[in-house]
Amino acid sequence: MPTFPTLNPPVRVLMGPGPSDTHPRVLQALAKGTVGHLDPYYLEIMNGLQEMLRMLFRTKNQMTMAISGTGSAGMEATVVNLIEPGDSMIVCVNGVFGGRMLDVAQRAGATVTKVERPWGEVFTPADLKAALASAKPKVVGIVMAETSTGAYQPIEEISKVVHEAGALLLVDAVTALGGVPVEVDGWNIDAIYSGTQKCLSCPPGLSPTSFSPRAMDVIMNRKTKVQSWYLDVSMLANYWGQNRVYHHTGPINMTWGLYEALCLIHEEGLENCFARHLRNHRALKGGLAAIGIKYSAQEGHQLPMLNAVTVPEGVDDAAVRSALLTRFGIEIGAGLGAYNGKVWRIGLMGFGSRPANVLLFLSALEQLLAEQKYRFTSGASVAAANESYGKGA
């Protein structure tokens, strides 16, 4: 009989593209006793969770819930419920996650029109006009916070042209939700999904989602069954709605975690939470600028919670990331796809978005850059970050 090591995870500072640091209160919530998925107490917590999600998504959508899977399951749920075989869909691709949505849409049988922008850039309504006219899509999918590039996509103006063309708007808010304002009703978003492991200070495993009444009309009037039984929103609506009809067994303890995570956000206040993400982003950016490190996403469209920066000339990407992890316990993200070896992705998400992490990271990075003979003014990054905090920026 082989023996297996006792579970003792190392203590990490999670500053990559997610998962981010789980808040201690959320860890404790995960460990609370399991109850049944039809237990009156569980149903009450589901109600509270839905209400808090509606506040976070800024929506009145009845069909607001957590899908029992990670953010990618949320992506699949929104796509396969809205799309029937042969439907036309436009997917906006400027990074890995737009590309993933395109793949999901094709597997759902959509006729997909791909609209592209270079990595790190964002879409304007003009970029979509020609495709909207020719494809006459049922759905347009777009990523609000492209985690592979750090680009921050404005949604409101895009939504207008999408709806003028008679299409539904589907938004990936995996990394956005909880870090920047997401106005589901204000921007007229029809379907949206997120993940728990980014700005919600919760481990990965659930996907908050919301569907507008218009999207629900489309779903309830499909000609064909949704290809996924597990993600079929018409059945999930019966479990998350008033009827509470058993569908699949809810992930009880992860639900405790998400509930606690949402309580934390509402205690802090949404606006305070967004301001905190921005403040720490500005301090980090100021610190990096002081030692000559530049952001790779388009200026003016950089995400506060996911800081994608260009690996400086002559610096060994993998060696720096590895030393950050092994010597300082800090995880940052490598570049994905086209950005492999060229970009670092530094997350300041949820509980992880705090001055202590910004200062620790800059100090550790300076040490490693010095060892790699990168030329910069020692201490400049930390001084600039502190100055940024001093300004109340």
Q: Which is nearer to its own copies, 7 or 133 (CB)?
A: 7
Query: C-beta of 207: minimal distance to its own copies in Å?
Result: 10
Query: C-beta of 383: minimal distance to its own copies in Å?
Result: 30
Q: Where are the beta strands (DSSP E) in the chain?
A: 13-14, 63-67, 88-93, 111-116, 139-143, 145-146, 151-152, 168-172, 191-193, 207-211, 306-310, 330-331, 333-334, 343-347
Exposed, middle or buried by CB within 10 Å (0-12, 13-18, 19+), for 230?
middle
- Is the CB of residue 209 less than 8 Å from the CB of residue 192? yes
Near its own copies by CB under 8 A: residue from 125, 154, 181, 251? 251
Query: C-beta of 331: minimal distance to its own copies in Å?
Result: 5
User: Would you count residue 336 as binding its own copies (CB under 8 A)?
Assistant: yes
Near its own copies by CB under 8 A: residue from 43, 263, 338, 360? 263
Comparing CA positions, the residue from 284, 333, 324, 272 lying closest to residue 146 is 333
Task: Say how far apart CA 58 and CA 362 lie, in whole Å.
Answer: 35
**Structure token pair of residue 212:** 């507008």
Under rule CB under 8 A, which residues in 107-166 are in contact with its own copies? Answer: 107-108
Helices and strands per DSSP (H, E), number in the chain: 13, 14
Under rule CB under 8 A, which residues in 55-114 are in contact with its own copies? Answer: 68-73, 75-76, 100, 103-104, 106-108
Query: C-beta of 278: minimal distance to its own copies in Å?
Result: 21
Task: Say how far apart CA 288 and CA 291 lie, in whole Å.
Answer: 5
User: Would you count residue 309 as binding its own copies (CB under 8 A)?
Assistant: no
Q: Which is nearer to its own copies, 16 or 137 (CB)?
A: 16
Near its own copies by CB under 8 A: residue from 178, 179, 205, 335? 205
Near its own copies by CB under 8 A: residue from 180, 260, 286, 304? 260
Near its own copies by CB under 8 A: residue from 60, 266, 294, 375? 266
Helix axes 71-82, 96-107, angle to 10 degrees: 40
Task: Say how far apart CA 85 and CA 107 lie, in whole Å.
Answer: 9
Q: Which is nearer to its own copies, 63 or 73 (CB)?
A: 73
Task: Say how far apart CA 206 and CA 105 lie, in whole Å.
Answer: 21
Near its own copies by CB under 8 A: residue from 111, 234, 253, 310? 253
Q: Which is nearer to its own copies, 155 or 192 (CB)?
A: 192
Task: Say how far apart CA 381 and CA 282 lie, in whole Å.
Answer: 12
Query: C-beta of 285: minimal distance to its own copies in Å?
Result: 23
Q: Which is nearer to its own copies, 143 or 283 (CB)?
A: 143
- Rounded to 5 degrees, what angle do the CA atoms 62, 66, 72 make? 125
Under rule CB under 8 A, which residues in 27-66 are in contact with its own copies? Answer: 27-37, 39, 41-42, 44-45, 48, 51-52
Q: Which is nearer to its own copies, 156 or 268 (CB)?
A: 268
Site stretch for its own copies (CB under 8 A), options 226-234, 291-299, 359-367, 385-393 = 226-234
User: Would you count residue 304 as binding its own copies (CB under 8 A)?
Assistant: no
Q: How many CB atoms lie within 10 A of CB 389?
A: 17
